[in-house]
Structure 1
Amino acid sequence: MDVVIRSAVVFLLLWMVIRVSGKREVGQLSAFDMILLVTVGDLVSQGVVQEDYSLTAAVVAVATFALAGVVLARLGFWLPGLRPTLAGVPRVVVRDGEPVLDVLEGERITMDDVFEACRKQGIRSLHDVELCVLEVDGTFSFFTTGPDDDREGGRDDHEVK
């Protein structure tokens, strides 16, 4: 039972760390971040199973993590009001070609991040973007204007670099 309690506490701690660290942090892990994640996993496992290195303790710890994940997912399903807290909400970071600076700052996203995502989608100018949404998984979704739309041209301040 001790392993279950420690596993549940560590699961909640890791869940909170991921929620606080931000969407983009989770969505763009570097090689160093992956190594750090594996190291943290090893440290966490030591805290969870403590001196019990048996297969049973490992199975109980993994099962507790899996069950906690299922419980959180079910809570979000049964109680829709909890979904934003449990999973986050998508945020509009560009509206009608203009960055929404307070959202960018709150999500710790730079314009370089937005420009990079634009380039990956083949978008040449931020003025072509009706909406850019930061999804809960850290990815960007773009809604662009069609070729028939009349947009102001000639402004260089939002050209994708």
Structure 2
Amino acid sequence: MKVYKKETIQLVNASLDECWDFFSSPKNLQKITPETMGFQITDYDGKSMYAGQIIQYKVSPLLGLKLSWMTIITDVKENSYFIDEQRFGPYALWHHKHFFEATPNGTKMTDVVHYALPLGFLGRILNTLVVKNKLNEIFDYRTKTVDKLFNSK
């Protein structure tokens, strides 16, 4: 299985506490996800993020096809990082680390995603033709949205 890595870094004009409060709340996921993804949380306990928390949602990444996705928060260190992993969904592997670091100019956010696709050789072709570009679109949208929310003050 081929494992891919996507990493982004963004400086946010907000305190570490403000960033943590926003990004560690599952209810804000929809705000930073493109509308074209059809993102909808279907099950979430409404609590602040904690290790073991399960979040279920539907997404439509391609051609309007609705896919179910279940994420578990595997590790949390308040104001520092959290990790989510897909338990059920479109990927053979999805491991997403979110890091937060205070800087003199705000908060440095680093996302590191390791992912793999099912279907072996076909999955590798799909990644090259579709998935890699779609992930770039999603993270670009997120960057622009975070800029509007925090960096245009």
Q: TM-score, normalised by structure 2?
A: 0.28
Which structure is higher in helix share? 1
Q: Which has the larger radius of gyration?
A: 1
Q: Which has the higher strand share?
A: 2
- The structure, 1 or 2, with the larger RCO (C-alpha pairs under 8 Å, 6+ apart) is 2
Q: TM-score, normalised by structure 1?
A: 0.27
